[in-house]
Structure 1
Amino acid sequence: MALDDIRARIRAAEAAAGRPPGSVTLIAVSKLQPADRVEAALDQGQRVFGENYVQEAQRKWPAWRARWPEVALHMIGPLQSNKARAAVELFDAIHGVDRASLARRLARVAQETGLAPQVFVQVNTGAEPQKAGVLPAEADALIQECRQLGLNLAGCMCIPPDDADPRPHFQLLRETATRNGLSGLSMGMSADFETAIAEGATHVRVGSAIFGARPTERPG
């Protein structure tokens, strides 16, 4: 497992950007990963993990959290409104808020349960039709609605197009967050997290570079 190498690269990227050590949170993306790999990361002290699918996380994490109760779990995939309650009850942060209807549903569930996971507004910086995320021109309005609903708004999130230079997308996300008074920037994955750190990322989502290749079959 390359966890120590990723941690060292994050520290080096922080230093190169003139940022203090520990200013970037590493989210280890454990979706579809075999249990032994995840447990190896837990044994190495990793305590922040990302999952894409609510049902998979429900199956995996209660037992692990019983052993490692300090784990923080982040929902980093698209979230269906009908799974909002389960997500609020399970996750400490939700990175995929991309529409007003989902924001309203999360606000209702938060009020009913008394739980308040952090929320990141996902911005589709490449305006890709197949990808989740609010369009950049509509991001300010969604952020404002999240605030009015009383959500625990932490920042913005993006996934740049696969074939594009990620830096302009990271810059666009940073400008959106700054304009709206938000400090959290969830951006950067295995192939580009150092560039994201240079552009101000506070959370990087790294999976295959830590755990290795994952099975491609989505859980039912």
Structure 2
Amino acid sequence: MSARRSAACSALLAIGLAAAGSFGARAAADPSSESSASPSASGPKQMIVPLGGKSFKNMAAPVLGADELNAPVLDYYAPIGSADGAETTVEGEGKTTTTLSSDVNFEVDSANLTPRAREVLDGLVSKWRKKKPKEISITGHTDSVADDDHNQKLSEDRAKAVRSYVAPKVSGVSIEVEGKGEKEPAASETNEDGSPNEAGKAANRRVVIVSK
């Protein structure tokens, strides 16, 4: 390293040490300065860091108080469904809502329960025996493929089929049955381009069981 280059490096080092010493002296002389290590009774804390003879302020995030930490938590009830889509259950607000897929639990265009439906309903009955609900409502729904009268009757018959299966297994519980036909769809049956939405139709073919 040349003598000139060595002298320049020494000069820069001296300037840096002098700036650091000046910063430390100011902090020690003025305890109320923003760089003081003593915690402030209120408000966010600040630091002053020397950088090339200048300073910048880095404000720390404020600490949350008890009121902020005790903010109310919103209830969110996540649905729990079976792997084959036979049923989906949502629990909360003092009730349990179980939605049966008609495509899995009933024969096509029929109110006859499938073997899988009996498994699902037996599972519900087992839960009701452990904690008996005060009342149960069963509501049938269909898609809009057939005419209104046909869909209305099919929705009622499917709801009644569910009641006929579970009622003898759970005594002393009021069970209401209703059919909505195609009047209360859960999903659109038409895509944006006007084509049929088969997934939407499948979602509308259902029986909803609410126990509370």
TM-score in terms of structure 1 length: 0.29
Larger Rg: 1 or 2?
2
User: Which is bigger in relative contact order (C-alpha 8 A, separation at least 6)?
Assistant: 1
- Which is helix-richer, 1 or 2? 1
